[in-house]
Amino acid sequence: MDTQSEVVSRLRSVFASGVTIPEEFRRAQLTKLMSMMKENQELIVKALHQDLSKPKFEAVLSEVQIVINDLRYTINNFSSWMNPEYVGKNLATKLDTCFVRREPLGVVLIIGAWNYPVQLLLLPLIGAIAAGNCVVIKPSEVSAATDSLIAELIPKYLSQDCYAVVRGGAEETKSLLQNRFDHIFYTGSQTVARSILQAASVHLTPVTLELGGKCPCLIYGRIDIPAAARRLVWSKFFNAGQSCVAPDYVLCSPAIRDALLPVIRQTLEDFYGKDPKSCPDLSRIVSPRHWTRLVELLGKTDGKVVIGGESREEDKYMAPTVVTDVTEDDALMKEEIFGPILPILTVDSLQEGISFINRQESPLALYVFSDESHIVNKVLENTKSGGFCSNDGIVHMTLPTLPFGGIGASGCGQYHGHYSFETFSHRRGCMLRGWALERLNTLRYPPYTDSKLSW
Ligand code: NAD
């Protein structure tokens, strides 16, 4: 088996041969990726169940379909994305041909995380292939079954000369990062992102960082409580809360909290039954280490556990849990929860809610639930976040025409659809000029005179 550096240098010479450049090559690879997704849905669902007990419905929706949708959109459109983009000109460049040319970056590295171990690797891969790159794919070792399935499927379907899967944990990834890449696309935690940046700095490699954080859900004003409860519960407890865009905490007035709580309780029962432990529609925590972190985190809160709170080590289960009376300096507010615990904090005014959000790091997503559009607009206009969605959670990321990515501590760079293609392309500004109007150029050649400036 090739060492990591042999893999990278092999891809580098394949890239230099130009094989990934023709549109037809890229289209053929994307089409094979589509076949991979369609022909192996069952295996993918099975691996995700092994890793996270992901319900089939959630696996198909958030791992298989989302990739197929992005693939379809990209296959239908990337040809026009490849076209030169002609730009506006001024008098001095009137006779020139001025355009932006999208060129592949070279050999790029995609590092995925365990919570959506298929889409977090394959959505960026679609853009990297469409843009004409060679790619090293590094799945998360934490979601072990999906890791090994990806390593088995990719070489079966895609060109082994151009795309390679490299497996391993932190140590292997660190040594992989010593190689020179032309772009690093990293999804994962803020802590690891710092070492990714350090490794990238050695070769001055550009990076995209898809990180996490605490996504607020501000519920304010007139509101359809039952609909709000359903959408909140669905988006929070989807994948047992292990979503980078899950609502991390709720901010609302005491009156809304009191109205919402019994409806959340009922909604949880409607969705997961009286005994969520035995419900097949609830994922499990990915590993004993992650489960312990959540149990300890819940143990540290000074808030009141009003719903759920139970956990069971043998199958890494944690009940959908709601905690009230949580304050800004509570343990639950110190880190991204990334599990099925929903703290509810209260604020006395909309402005207080906005100020609260603005005191925290910029989140990956910001949710506002309200029937009143002026409230939604006020929050939109007075806050910062990677993405924004009113009256629902998570769903904005399923639309391939919207850019997806963070801002500040929640990441940098964007992807999905056309944005993935742009991320993995260099925009080369080109001016094709002939020899015309040389007499006019005497105006810029020495000897310089003041009269030449006043032209
Ligand atoms: P993880 O443990 O799977 O790590 C992510 C990747 O980093 C893995 O491939 C892993 O092998 C590698 N890695 C781990 N330690 C490393 C090290 N020291 N050096 C180099 N590489 C290393 O996932 P995680 O970090 O637990 O991911 C969870 C975080 O990811 C959460 O904060 C979540 O919000 C965020 N996330 C963000 C997005 C997004 O799209 N923005 C999506 C999913 C998850």
Q: Is the CB of 174 under 6 A from ligand 1?
A: yes
* Tens of each residue's pLDDT in the chain, 455 residues: 789 999 999 999 999 999 999 999 999 999 999 999 999 999 999 999 999 999 999 999 999 999 999 999 999 999 999 999 999 999 889 999 999 999 999 999 999 999 999 999 999 999 999 999 999 999 999 999 999 999 999 999 999 999 999 999 999 999 999 999 999 999 999 999 999 999 999 999 999 999 999 999 999 999 999 999 999 999 999 999 999 999 999 999 999 999 999 999 999 999 999 999 999 999 999 999 999 999 999 999 999 999 999 999 999 999 999 999 999 999 999 999 999 999 999 999 999 999 999 999 999 999 999 999 999 999 999 999 999 999 999 999 999 999 999 999 999 999 999 999 999 999 999 999 999 888 888 999 999 999 988 86
Structural domains in the chain, CATH included, are 4-212+413-426 (3.40.605.10), 216-384 (3.40.309.10)
Q: How far apart are the CA of 76 and the centre of ligand 1, in A?
A: 31
Determine if ligand 1 sits within 6 Å of the CB of residue 113. yes
From the CB of 338, is ligand 1 less than 6 Å away?
yes
Q: Whose CA is nearest to atom 24 of ligand 1?
A: 188
Over its C-alpha atoms, the chain yields an Rg (Å, rounded) of: 25
CB-based burial, 75-111: b 16+ in 10 Å, e otherwise: bebbeebbeeeeeeeeeeeeeeebebebebbbbbbbb
The minimum-distance atom of ligand 1 relative to the CA of 191 is: 25
Question: How far does the centroid of ligand 1 lie from the alpha carbon of residue 69, in Å?
Answer: 24
Q: Is 176 in the pocket of ligand 1 (CB under 6 A)?
A: no
DSSP 32-58: HHHHHHHHTHHHHHHHHHHHH---HHH
Nearest residue (by CA) to ligand 1, atom 16, is 170
pLDDT at residue number 455 = 63
State the burial class of residue 344 (Cβ atoms within 10 Å of its Cβ: 0-12, 13-18, 19+): buried
- Which tokens sit at 322? 């709601």
279 annotated active-site = no
SS3 (DSSP) at 249: strand
- Assembly ipTM: 0.96
Asked whether the beta carbons of 432 and 97 are under 8 A apart, the reply is yes
Q: Indicate whether residue 364 lines ligand 1 (CB < 6 A).
A: yes
Told to judge if 24 belongs to the known catalytic residues of this protein, a careful annotator would answer no
pTM, rounded to two decimals: 0.97
**How far, in Å, from the CA of 186 to the mean position of ligand 1?**
8
Ligand 1 centre distance from Cα of residue 135 (Å):
19
Check pocket membership of 192 for ligand 1, CB cut-off 6 A. yes
Q: Which residue's CA is the closest to the ligand 1 atom numbered 34?
A: 212
Whose CA is closest to atom 10 on ligand 1? 140
